[in-house]
Amino acid sequence: MRPLVLLPEIVLFVGGLVVLAGGSYLARDRQWVTRVVAATALVTAIVLSAAGVVRPAQAAMEGTFTVDVATATARIVAAAGTLVVLALASDELAGSPRESETYALLLFSTTGTLVLAGAGDLLVVAVGFLLASIPLYGLIGMAATPRGAEAAMKTYLLGALFGILLLVGVTVLYGVTATTSYAALAGRLAGAPVGAVAVGAGAVLCGLMFKAGGVPAHFWVPDAAQGAGGAVAAFLTTVPKVGALIAAYRLVATLPGTVSWPLAVAVLAVASMTLGNLAAYWQTDPRRLLGWSTVSQVGYVLVPVAVAGRTDLALPSLLLYLAGYTVTNLSAFAVTSAFPQRRDLRSYRGLARARPWLAASLVVALLGLVGTPPTVVFVGKLTTTTAVWDGGHPWLAVVVFVNTVASLFYYLRWIAPVYSRREPVERTVAGSFTPAAWSAAAAVVTATLSLAAGIGSGLLWTAFAA
């Protein structure tokens, strides 16, 4: 094992420890120092990961962890996403009693996400799952509100259930193959009993769906998005999904053809995108709407996972969509963090007149989530549907198109009041539109990145396909 291969993960985890310990010795008005330490750790991890992209794939920990293009992409995207979350937290948590603890938990959960992304062994998947999940329970409960407590309890119970399910799956697969390494599993599963393979791999995949926020483990997502603080809501609907979906891709790519895994994953994708869209239709709280939107987006990202190992387009399209979704979803949540008291879609009435740049950022984010050109999510949906068509499932591309058109309605329900000329419903709340500074800046920057990445998506595709 070469320890430097895991340097980004080590930097983030050690950074979390320093933030956690250092915060105990700092006065409340000096907790900003821990934010600087956390940001430094994240930037360092991004630089190290970017420097390692050009290297050939490497293995660490005796082949149980893989560093390749997918791992490098997850490192950069997850660390950059958490960096944006820190900017949102600057407005929300500055001077609060749990400021340093929140930053530490964010770093620990991000480290778990990266472990999931690079896992080449089922036991490492289990470790990454726990490291990404346990801090998340504390982060959601930090809101210290009835909704936050309910969301934390629901997330914890579902996390425990699907964590146990994942471990059961690992146990079954080990029982029929005597190994947990993906390299060995690929050959041994072909001769294993079909029923055991289906149960074991299905259980692991369902466990990963908890981290991704997709069907059948999606129930916690909208409650957590609504009940948690703005920064935490932005984090939990974005960053953990990067590692979970790459881990799902690696798992599906190793499974034998004795079970129709493309169809099984396709069913999960259709269920997630359809249920998420239908449930989002009548939501009035913007964060809960984005929570259900997250469930539907997981369905779209699962599309290339369904054809993992069956077309060369699958992995690049998955990575492009994950990068595009991360920056676009964070932009939408940044707008809600800029106006934390506006918890109804109608309260955004008149935003375009008062804050045109923020209104434009929100429109770019929401239409980007739909998949409207020239945003990067449009290119992501185009490439994922191309991949699934090339992989032999053209019907799934049609389902993606139908769900995309259907999703436009509930995003427009938010955009319409933003550009409405009618007077605000509640003058006392909706009259000023004074945004939180860091969140407003993050919204504009991420919306701009969504457009820039869409226009320059050819360069990203070349990097991912290398």
For the chain, give the mean pLDDT: 93
DSSP H helices, 255-313, are 261-280, 286-306
Strands 65-67 and 58-60, bridge-based pairing: antiparallel
Cross-strand pairs, 249: none
Tens-place pLDDT, residues 256-304: 888 899 999 999 999 999 999 999 999 999 999 999 999 999 999 999 9
Could you tell me how far CA 93 lies from the centroid of its own chain?
A: 22
Write down the number of H helices and E strands in the chain.
21, 2
Residue 138's pLDDT band, with cuts at 50, 70 and 90, is very high
Question: CA-CA distance, 319 to 379, in Å (whole number)?
Answer: 12
Tens-place pLDDT, residues 80-98: 999 999 999 998 888 788 8
Mean pLDDT of 223-228: 96
What residue spans define the domains of the chain? Answer: 1-259, 273-466
What integer pLDDT is reported at residue 423 of this predicted model?
55
Three-state SS string over 134-181 comes to HHHHHHHHCCCCHHHHHHHHHHHHHHHHHHHHHHHHHHHHHHHHCCCE
| Token pair of 57 as six digits | 């794939």
CA atoms within 13 A of residue 82's CA, in its CB half-sphere:
35
Q: Provide the phi-psi class of 95: left if phi over 0, else alpha when psi is between -120 and 50, else beta.
A: left
Residue 379's pLDDT band, with cuts at 50, 70 and 90, is very high
Residue 3's pLDDT band, with cuts at 50, 70 and 90, is low
* Distant-in-sequence, close-in-space partners of 240: CB < 8 Å, separation ≥ 6: 109, 112, 113, 132, 136, 211, 212, 213
Secondary structure element (H or E) that encloses residue 60, with its range: strand 58-60
Spatial CA neighbour of 163 closest among 137, 141, 140, 133: 133
Q: Is the dihedral of CA 90, 96, 99, 105 positive or negative?
A: negative
Mean pLDDT of 207-215: 96
| Token pair of 202 as six digits | 């299905």
Question: CA-CA distance, 275 to 278, in Å (whole number)?
Answer: 5
Kindly report the number of other CB atoms within 10 A of residue 257's CB atom.
10
Mean pLDDT of 7-24: 95
CA distances from 447 to 232, 339, 359, 368 (A): 19, 17, 11, 9
Residue 429's pLDDT band, with cuts at 50, 70 and 90, is very low
| Token pair of 187 as six digits | 């050959």
| Token pair of 77 as six digits | 């995207």
Whether 160 shows a pLDDT value over 50: the answer reads: yes
Higher pLDDT, 59 or 181: 181
| Contact yes or no for 177/189 (Cβ under 8 A) | yes
| Token pair of 66 as six digits | 């893989």
Mean pLDDT of 316-334: 97
| Contact yes or no for 307/388 (Cβ under 8 A) | yes
